[in-house]
Chains A and B, each alone.
Chain A
Amino acid sequence: MTIDSVRAALLSRQASATELATDALKFAEAENPRTNAYLHFSPERALAAAKRVDEQLARGEEPGPLAGVPIAVKDVIVTKGLRTTCGSRLLAHYIPPYDATAVVRLEQAGGVLIGKTNCDEFAMGSSNENSAFGPVLNPVDPTRVPGGTSGGSAAAVAQGTAVVALGSDTGGSIRQPASFCGVVGVCPTYGRVSRYGLTAHASSLDHIGPLARTVRDAATLLGVIAGHDPCDSTSAAAPVPDYPALLDGQVKGLKLGLPREYLKDLTSETGDLISQGVEVFQRLGCEVREISMPATGYAIACYYIISTAEASSNLARFDGVRYTARSASSETLADLYRNTRGEGFGAECKRRIMLGTYVLSHGYYDAYYVKAQKVRSLIARDFANAFQEVDAIVAPVSPFPAFKLGEKVDDPIAMYLSDIYTITGSLAGIPCMSVPCGTTAAGLPVGMQILTRHFDETTMFRLADAFERTRS
């Protein structure tokens, strides 16, 4: 189903929101053992939301843009009264006392939150194998990873257990799983969607964004959750366009850039699919030119310095003193911290806390953190220069399609390197998305990435939508 088909069903009285929610919950719970996409369901909350929609319809009121739509929310986004684990043992029983702004907005728009989705612990990873509650399996091929860290949200949408989902993206955590699972995933401009209620991984890079089966649905969901929030000082005051209304399939004359630095290390199948995708745009009347992004080679190092530095600080609050699960026996305060964090955090979080602590340490700060910030501005400048010439950049999302479970889990460097094409956009803070552009011979989905100027999600959606139309 899509948002529009749910709406049509409700307005034609084919089904009530309550019936839809009941069915969605039943289906999601039945399907979940196949993928482990959901960590927990929220039937009471879903049925209460559905009831509100049904009452609105009964009163003849215009229902919100997400009326009756079953939605899954990544478990790093806090939900009042509903367990929010961040994929971590440390928060296995944590029940937040407030809702994230994005969650408030989607429910105000009539959305029906059916459950919280699995993810890498504190959104750190690229495969969803870092969840304390077991990996998510790719619904396309259960021997493969769904991508990370929003793997649960991507899998839920791909399986059809949720019409749309919220994920979070710090270095590709929405786009890469969307690509691996064959769905649409959007990382909006930094500041477009409030981060209030998103458990912080790396604050200057964290985004909440939509995953959906169609570009239109992703655009609709973004339109609902976007916009200034007084609770987030970094959220932007820029007006939010009516994205779905602007999707007319017309992209003729738009200039697209193809960065040569992004095309070298692709597996041939991914490279071929991206090339075919670019040809589609040419047929649609876009002008494609090769561009250069010379700072790309420094992006991985830059990203893993800035993100781990911020993460080491953001994860400090999980210390066993208040809401965090506390280690059972500790003699001293230092023991309490060591035991709680030693037992609680998984290997990847510990690795990043150590890296981040190191790069911020006295005597190393200038060489790592300050240098990385300079590189970050170089990367942003590459994009600014490119956008003088072109309206959008087209690139792969990942060098390869979904890999096997366990294939890279013991090789963190290989895992980090797989983020190469997504982290540049994150560092620049520009909008970027993954749109499906075909499957490999083995049937594995491959996503194409579209990146545009700050706050120009409209052009990004128009291109993705036009591309999608040629494929259906």
Chain B
Amino acid sequence: MSSSAIDMATPDAIARYEPVIGLEVHVQLATATKIFCGCPTSFGASPNTNVCPVCLGLPGALPVLSREAVELAIKGGLALNCHIRSQSRFARKNYFYPDLPKGYQISQYDEPVAEHGFVDILVDGVEKRIGVTRVHMEDDAGKSIHDGFKDSDRYSYVDLNRCGTPLIEIVSDPDMRSSAEAYAYLTEVKQVLQFVEVSTCDMEKGHLRCDANVSVRLKGAEKFGTKAEVKNLNSFRFLKQALDYEIVRQVALLEGGGRVVQETRLYDPDLGETFTMRSKEDAHDYRYFPEPDLVPLRVGEKWLAEVRASMPELPACKRKRFIEEYGLRAYDAEVLTAARPASEYYETVAKVSGDPKIAANWVMGDLMALLKAEGKEIAASPVRPENLGELVKLIVKDEISGKLAKEIFPKMFSSGDSAGVVMEREGLKQISDTDALDRIIAEVIANNPKQVEQYRGGKTTVINFLVGQAMRATRGQANVTLVTGLLKRKLGTGEIC
């Protein structure tokens, strides 16, 4: 579309329209082996090495459904609040492509493993529920490689390692009304699937792929507009950019008196534009029919209960519980439940320390800062959650000052040692010995006659300065409460040294 045509979509015009967006998200299940054979799913092996007669689609080979893949699909369905069907069925989706060795994909069509779910999202402080139409299982295709070989101008190469990798496709209802909502939905889907360990959702490795169905309609209109399917949205940023572009493109078309054509479009991240991939007329007729090589998948009550029992607490529940049980602020609960490792780390710190709020501050503050600086994941934190819990406990029990703790913590981080070991080694110990403190306080009083005078003159806030001096003199190791008490007593009694 020319830029002048795009100009038809003025901000006013765009404001008169409402986008309608639905997402189809493909997620690679975190199984060790493929969905219909025993080949490994590992990433990065030499081309065509993780293959066997089944995933190569050799004559006579037959698929056998992996129980592990089904369990992960069920977990995914449960995590997205879906109903798990007691019977689902596989179907063949027929089309020709060089990286599709059977000439069909084994997918699910009219009887998916899970359906009727939802995902709650929060955009600009407003909560919204997005419907999940269905979750179905399927096998992935291989990869066609069109460049990188010396004869790539004449040949394409096919790597079938990925063939038969288990996927679930999550189809949303057309419930999203902005690119921000779509972004929030995809974020939530990713987080929840990572949380229940259904998938690593690593977009760079293609473990999470997303297509969008987009249409626009005049605000207030009941009928949906004609939709376009946008493919190749392989990052969160591309998703948002492509949707924003597509919305503008469709509004401009309609404003210019044209109409939107039903078609499949591809997003070009370099140009920031979508372009026609194939029109409706060229759309594949996939000739779906039930896969005769597999029996219907039956998920009985007992199996479903077992899978359900193996599920971790979902982020939404955990968030609610953190607020109620630990008295966390909503924002803190959100941050601490975004990923399972962080939530589990935090809970250990909270339990060991006995003070969930201070624990939250330490996890979100000092710990996260150091992790970020070192580019480390929380699961790889050199400070074990038990050790951070112990440190926080020392603060809570007033055995060390917060200041001293802040000095100890980086040393724990760099060494991986517990607070006790670090303190022992560094000679960092809280001084609670009254005799030792008496001497230090005497020095402070002697060295700061002006402030002492002010205090005695009634300006009692000066005590903080004097406490600070005492702490500095002890490199933060003095027991603050004790120092403050001793100072007050000495100054109050008028005793002069």
B63 CB contacts on chain A under 8 angstroms: 233
Most chain A Cβ neighbours within 10 Å, of B61, B65, B101: B61
Q: Is A230 an interface residue (CB 8 A)?
A: yes
Q: How large is the interface on B (under 10, 10 to 19, 20 to 34, 35 or more residues)?
A: 20 to 34
Distance in Å: Cβ of B464 to nearest Cβ of chain A = 76
Knowing A233-B294, A316-B94, say if A321 contacts B158 (CB, 8 Å): yes
Q: How far is the CA of A396 from the CA of B285 in the complex (A)?
A: 41
Distance in Å: Cβ of B133 to nearest Cβ of chain A = 20
Assess the A233–B64 pair: CB atoms within 8 A.
yes
B58 CB contacts on chain A under 8 angstroms: 78, 96-98, 323
Q: Is A2 an interface residue (CB 8 A)?
A: no
Knowing A86-B59, A233-B293, A234-B293, say if A360 contacts B94 (CB, 8 Å): yes
Closest partner residue, chain A, to B59 (CB atom): A199
Knowing A78-B59, A230-B64, A232-B62, say if A310 contacts B103 (CB, 8 Å): no
Interface of B is mostly: loop
Knowing A91-B59, A323-B58, say if A365 contacts B295 (CB, 8 Å): no
Q: Is A150 an interface residue (CB 8 A)?
A: no
Most chain A Cβ neighbours within 10 Å, of B60, B98, B101, B293: B60
Q: How far is the CA of A231 from the CA of B58 in the complex (A)?
A: 14
Assess the B56–A316 pair: CB atoms within 8 A.
no
Distance in Å: Cβ of A366 to nearest Cβ of chain B = 11
Q: How far is the CA of A361 from the CA of B284 in the complex (A)?
A: 10
Q: How far is the CA of A195 from the CA of B94 in the complex (A)?
A: 22
Closest partner residue, chain A, to B95 (CB atom): A316
Assess the B94–A97 pair: CB atoms within 8 A.
no
B104 CB contacts on chain A under 8 angstroms: 313, 316
Distance in Å: Cβ of B475 to nearest Cβ of chain A = 69
A232 CB contacts on chain B under 8 angstroms: 62, 64
Q: How far is the CA of A405 from the CA of B90 in the complex (A)?
A: 42
Residues of chain B in range 92-133 having any CB-CB distance to chain A below 8 Å: 92, 94, 96, 98, 101-104
Q: How far is the CA of A140 from the CA of B291 in the complex (A)?
A: 41
Distance in Å: Cβ of A170 to nearest Cβ of chain B = 12
- Annotate A303-335 by CB proximity to B: 1 below 8 A, 0 otherwise: 000000110110111010111000000000100
Knowing A313-B92, A365-B289, say if A322 contacts B56 (CB, 8 Å): yes
B59 CB contacts on chain A under 8 angstroms: 78, 84, 86, 91, 94, 96, 199-200, 317
Residues of chain A in range 345-391 having any CB-CB distance to chain B below 8 Å: 357, 360-362, 365, 369
Q: Is A339 an interface residue (CB 8 A)?
A: no
A84 CB contacts on chain B under 8 angstroms: 59
Closest partner residue, chain A, to B293 (CB atom): A203
Q: Is B280 an interface residue (CB 8 A)?
A: no
Q: Is B468 an interface residue (CB 8 A)?
A: no
Residues of chain A in range 209-253 having any CB-CB distance to chain B below 8 Å: 230-234
B98 CB contacts on chain A under 8 angstroms: 319, 321, 333
Q: Is B410 an interface residue (CB 8 A)?
A: no
Distance in Å: Cβ of A22 to nearest Cβ of chain B = 30
Knowing A195-B62, A196-B61, say if A203 contacts B285 (CB, 8 Å): no
Closest partner residue, chain B, to A373 (CB atom): B290
A195 CB contacts on chain B under 8 angstroms: 60, 62
Q: How far is the CA of A321 from the CA of B57 in the complex (A)?
A: 12
Residues of chain B in range 59-91 having any CB-CB distance to chain A below 8 Å: 59-65
Q: How far is the CA of A98 from the CA of B61 in the complex (A)?
A: 9
Q: How far is the CA of A78 from the CA of B287 in the complex (A)?
A: 28
Q: How far is the CA of A271 from the CA of B292 in the complex (A)?
A: 36
Q: How far is the CA of A459 from the CA of B60 in the complex (A)?
A: 30
Q: How far is the CA of A317 from the CA of B95 in the complex (A)?
A: 10
Closest partner residue, chain B, to A315 (CB atom): B103
Assess the B289–A96 pair: CB atoms within 8 A.
no
Closest partner residue, chain A, to B94 (CB atom): A313
Assess the A313–B64 pair: CB atoms within 8 A.
no
Assess the B102–A317 pair: CB atoms within 8 A.
yes
Q: How far is the CA of A84 from the CA of B101 in the complex (A)?
A: 18
Q: How far is the CA of A316 from the CA of B92 in the complex (A)?
A: 12
A365 CB contacts on chain B under 8 angstroms: 287-289
Distance in Å: Cβ of B384 to nearest Cβ of chain A = 43
A109 CB contacts on chain B under 8 angstroms: none
Q: Is B272 an interface residue (CB 8 A)?
A: no
Closest partner residue, chain B, to A84 (CB atom): B59
Q: Is B53 an interface residue (CB 8 A)?
A: yes
Assess the B292–A196 pair: CB atoms within 8 A.
no
Q: Is A198 an interface residue (CB 8 A)?
A: yes
Assess the B60–A200 pair: CB atoms within 8 A.
yes
Most chain B Cβ neighbours within 10 Å, of A86, A97, A199, A321: A321
Distance in Å: Cβ of A209 to nearest Cβ of chain B = 16
Q: How far is the CA of A445 from the CA of B101 in the complex (A)?
A: 43
A56 CB contacts on chain B under 8 angstroms: none
Assess the A322–B101 pair: CB atoms within 8 A.
yes
B60, B62, B92, B101: the one contacting A233 at CB < 8 Å is B62
Q: Is A204 an interface residue (CB 8 A)?
A: yes
Q: Is A432 an interface residue (CB 8 A)?
A: no
The 8 closest A-B pairs by CB, nearest first: A316-B103, A360-B287, A203-B292, A204-B292, A199-B59, A197-B60, A78-B60, A321-B98
**B-binding residues in A (CB < 8 A):** 77-78, 84, 86, 91, 94, 96-98, 100, 195-200, 202-204, 230-234, 309-310, 312-313, 315-317, 319, 321-323, 333, 337, 357, 360-362, 365, 369
Can you give 21 A-B contacts (C-beta < 8 A)?
A86-B59, A96-B59, A98-B58, A98-B61, A196-B62, A198-B60, A199-B60, A203-B293, A231-B62, A233-B65, A233-B294, A233-B295, A234-B295, A316-B94, A319-B103, A321-B101, A321-B158, A337-B96, A360-B289, A362-B285, A365-B288
**A-binding residues in B (CB < 8 A):** 53, 56-65, 92, 94, 96, 98, 101-104, 158, 285, 287-289, 292-295
A-B contact sample (15 more), CB < 8 A, given A94-B59, A316-B104, A317-B59: A78-B60, A98-B53, A196-B61, A204-B292, A231-B62, A233-B65, A234-B292, A234-B294, A312-B287, A313-B103, A315-B103, A316-B94, A337-B96, A365-B289, A369-B289
